[in-house]
Structure 1
Amino acid sequence: MAGGLKRRIGPLLLTAYGLGVMVGAGIYVLVGTVAASAGIWAPVAFLSAGVIAGLSALSYAEFATRVPEAAGAASYIEEGLGLRWLGLVCGLAVALSGMVSAAAVLRGGVGYLVGIVPLPEMAAILVLGALLTFVAILGVLESLSLAALLTVVEVAGLLIAGWAGFSAEPAADWQSPSPPVWTGLAAATALAFFAFIGFEDMANMTEEVKTPARTVPLGIIAALVLTTLLYAFVTTAAVRAVPAEELAASRQPLALVWAKGSGLSPVWLSAIAVAAALNGVLAQIVMAARVLFGLGRRHPSLAVFHRAHARFGTPVLASLLAGAGTVTGALLLPVDRLADLTSTLLLAVFALVNLALILIKRRAPESDFRLPSWVPAAGLVTALAALAASLWLPQ
């Protein structure tokens, strides 16, 4: 079982991996929940969240070239702040957030699935969770190739749904919009941040990326820009076509947008939403397993997870734990609570990563990929502001 991870990932596959997990989490599952808080201004919430995420994503990109390890944020915080215990706590929080995120997306995807096929929800969660865990164990190239294929399918579905939304008769609140409720918009922005957590996943794949100093920053930036453009397009189409209250009440919000705009059955779009959810779940299981693998290198108490299968080149035990945590979360908690918890955990970690980069840049300015000092400073401020919103403003 002992062995190292294999470098098999190039820039296109890494970008597709990040794009898939970001798009799958943010649009197909969360658009209705964000609309419940922000109303017609939901696109602004997603765009604001993209800006906040972009600053922290750039900090991750620089750190990935400085500390190219699978542990990601845990190793960044240890190196920047010199606090091993804090790195361990943050690493475990990131691994937990990956499982929680995967659980939220799995539960949302099953919501679309049972709308197409009359299946017991609990059984669908168990079977799909087990199958995706098996794929994650089979190999990183196999996992990310499947993820890339699903990403193409889900982006096509988003473009078609957006077209339908812009073809529909405009909703009443779109034609006569109310002024934004700023507390609701701020809370929605904090929740929408959940949609952009894919860059954290990408940074944790560093040990399996070819030429990581070039590929990881390029992949993170490309995936974030493409995702933000898709969010702006699709969320605007959704609130234009469907009143925010209807979006908020629907478990299949984009299927509702399609039905409004085309007058046709939304079954095919629900099927694409299931594919998107599977993509997001697979990506998060893979990420959480890599974090546990990296923590096992740095912390003897977790050394059992720092083992890769000799043939598959994947951390089997860590993948099994990530899969089990995902299924458990999907069975026990609702989507909006899962998303809230993930956002809160990661915003705290992102603030610490930005602080760690500020400190390490002062000690060692040179890096293969180097940002201006204001970037991590702005990332720290915006992450703290979003964290405050997620904790104290009503959702």
Structure 2
Amino acid sequence: MLGAGVFASVGPAAAAAGSGLLVALGVAAVVAYCNATASARLAAVHPESGGTYVYGRRRLGPVPGFLAGWGFVVGKTASCAAMALTFGAYAWPSHPAVPAVAAVVALTVVNCLGVARTAGLNRLLVAVTLLALAAVVVAGLGGGAVDTANLAGWADADVPGIGQAAALLFFAFAGYARVATLGEEVRDPARTIPRAVPLALGIVLTVYVLVATTALLTVGPEGLAAAAAPLAAVASSGTLGFLTPAVRIGGAVASAGVLLSLMAGIGRTTMAMARDGELPRALAAVHPRYRVPHRAELLLGAVVVVIVLVADVRGAIGFSAFAVLVYYAVTNAAALTLDGPSRRWLRPLSVLGLLGCLALAFALPVATVLTGAGVLAAGVLGRALVRTALRGSGSDPST
């Protein structure tokens, strides 16, 4: 989670919501909390690789499960491209595609070596990211450029703009699903996952509120919206501008960390769908030594490289947000079917999460909504056509 929203979403969100950025961050956090709670409870009951693809399939049926899995795979693949391009823009602004492709190749190799190494490298990346975000806050608040007038006018922000900004900022919170999608590789998942998910979300929200407030106080919503690297603009706004290179390095490191986590989660969901025949079964192969879905990881790396060469960062973020919000709508719908002592308080949260996901998804620009809905519909239609053809040929497709 750390890095995606701060380094990639704050600018577009400020352009949409203006001084209402913090309100939008709060809305995104509420929806994310509902989703995180539903994900954690479902993961405890179904500790399997695949996340909401598995939950939807087990509790709602094969079509909702496929919709969630397809939305996750295509949405997060777009996220991978966005993060790779962000890495390239910070690492080598004049030729961003070169380091972007190099990062995808390198992290594909890391993921193919196994989750233990992935987790260790991710801890290092998060530590560097936190140091960079600390540099943003110190440079912003200590550089003498703070203007409290930049926070004025938040009450005048329009509801559609706040909704669109919240959808874009939601992109930053969605990383808690990585815990659930790695369910088969976690010790004592019934205890560990419900504790890890809200803890991670709480830490990230605290960091985002601090950084977003600093950014608004120093450069204001207009400055954030206009900057190609918003947090670098914050660091350079005052007398402590010498910290700007550290922020740029942090932006690259943060993007690499998010990319690493995303690729691990997509590979496991792809593997789970391939096991059930929803994707080519060859992608369900697990490496005999490293115990990872190596074919799925290699295919993902190749697809992301292609997207990086033609992608637009902001468009990729919007498309990813729409697809992932649909994914979490299925998560909340699946959580509504859970029984047990937690049902009384879980059900209202799941209803709020379901309605919140749908509202934010359709608050995005019309072109993004149409593109996202078209891709998701194409996946569902393609699945139906393949299954019809298999039945017609006498095969017995998995349902």
TM range (shorter): 0.7 to 0.9
2:153 matched to 1:174?
no
For the structure 1 residues 166 and 320, does the alpha-carbon distance in structure 2 shift closer, same or farther, using more than 3 Å as the test? same
Deviation at 1:140, TM superposition (A): 0.7
For the structure 1 residues 269 and 294, does the alpha-carbon distance in structure 2 shift closer, same or farther, using more than 3 Å as the test? same
Q: Is the 8 A contact 2:151 2:216 kept in 1?
A: no
Q: Is the 8 A contact 2:275 2:284 kept in 1?
A: yes
Hey, what's the Cα distance between the residues in 1 that align with 2:343 and 2:249?
Answer: 40
Correspondence for 1:388: 362
Deviation at 1:350, TM superposition (A): 1.2
* Aligned mate of 1:104, from 72, 82, 103: 82
Q: Is the 8 A contact 2:53 2:66 kept in 1?
A: yes
The 3-state SS of whatever aligns with 1:266 is: helix
Q: Is the 8 A contact 2:168 2:321 kept in 1?
A: yes
Hey, what's the Cα distance between the residues in 1 that align with 2:78 and 2:345?
Answer: 31
Hey, what's the Cα distance between the residues in 2 that align with 1:301 and 1:252?
Answer: 38
Correspondence for 2:378: none
Q: Is the 8 A contact 2:101 2:308 kept in 1?
A: no
Q: Is the 8 A contact 2:7 2:251 kept in 1?
A: yes
Correspondence for 1:36: 15
Deviations along 1:245-273, one digit per CA (max 9) or x if unpaired, are 22212221111111113132511210111
Q: Is the 8 A contact 1:40 1:177 kept in 2?
A: yes
Correspondence for 1:5: none
For the structure 1 residues 367 and 66, does the alpha-carbon distance in structure 2 shift closer, same or farther, using more than 3 Å as the test? farther
Correspondence for 2:228: 251
The 3-state SS of whatever aligns with 1:23 is: coil
Read off the aligned partner of 1:125 and give its amino acid letter.
A
* Aligned mate of 1:87, from 46, 56, 65: 65
Read off the aligned partner of 1:196 and give its amino acid letter.
F
2:189 matched to 1:212?
yes
Correspondence for 1:377: 351
Q: Is the 8 A contact 1:65 1:369 kept in 2?
A: no
Query: Once the two structures are aligned, what percentage of the paired residues are identical?
Result: 28
* Aligned mate of 1:366, from 340, 351, 362: 340
Q: Which runs of 5+ in 2 are unaligned?
A: 370-399
Hey, what's the Cα distance between the residues in 1 that align with 2:32 and 2:308?
Answer: 25
Hey, what's the Cα distance between the residues in 2 that align with 1:135 and 1:393?
Answer: 36
Q: Which runs of 5+ in 1 are unaligned?
A: 1-21
2:159 matched to 1:185?
no
Read off the aligned partner of 2:324 and give its amino acid letter.
L
* Aligned mate of 1:269, from 235, 247, 259: 247
Read off the aligned partner of 2:83 and give its amino acid letter.
V
Deviations along 1:112-148, one digit per CA (max 9) or x if unpaired, are 1124xx6x32222221111111111111110111011
Hey, what's the Cα distance between the residues in 1 that align with 2:345 and 2:183?
Answer: 19
For the structure 1 residues 366 and 277, does the alpha-carbon distance in structure 2 shift closer, same or farther, using more than 3 Å as the test? same
Q: Is the 8 A contact 2:286 2:294 kept in 1?
A: yes
- For residues 41-52 of structure 1, the aligned pairs below 5 Å read 41-52=20-31
TM-score (norm 2): 0.86
Q: Is the 8 A contact 1:307 1:315 kept in 2?
A: yes
Read off the aligned partner of 2:115 and give its amino acid letter.
V
Asked which structure has the greater RCO (Cα within 8 Å, sep 6+), the reply is 1
Stretch of structure 1 that moved more, 211-220 or 255-264: 255-264
Correspondence for 2:375: none
* Aligned mate of 1:153, from 122, 128, 131: 128
Deviation at 1:90, TM superposition (A): 2.2
Hey, what's the Cα distance between the residues in 2 that align with 1:176 and 1:298?
Answer: 53
Hey, what's the Cα distance between the residues in 2 that align with 1:247 and 1:42?
Answer: 10
Q: Is the 8 A contact 2:332 2:353 kept in 1?
A: yes
* Aligned mate of 2:40, from 57, 61, 64: 61
The 3-state SS of whatever aligns with 1:382 is: helix
The 3-state SS of whatever aligns with 1:105 is: helix
**How many equivalent pairs are there?**
366
- For residues 170-319 of structure 1, the aligned pairs below 5 Å read 170-171=146-147, 173-174=149-150, 176-177=152-153, 179-261=156-238, 262-264=240-242, 266-299=244-277, 301-319=279-297
Deviation at 1:391, TM superposition (A): 5.3
Deviation at 1:327, TM superposition (A): 2.1
TM-score (norm 1): 0.87
Stretch of structure 1 that moved more, 165-174 or 53-62: 165-174
Point out 4+ residue stretches in structure 1 off by more than 4 angstroms: 367-371, 391-395
Deviations along 1:60-101, one digit per CA (max 9) or x if unpaired, are 11110111111111111111112x133123212211222111
Hey, what's the Cα distance between the residues in 1 that align with 2:160 and 2:342?
Answer: 41
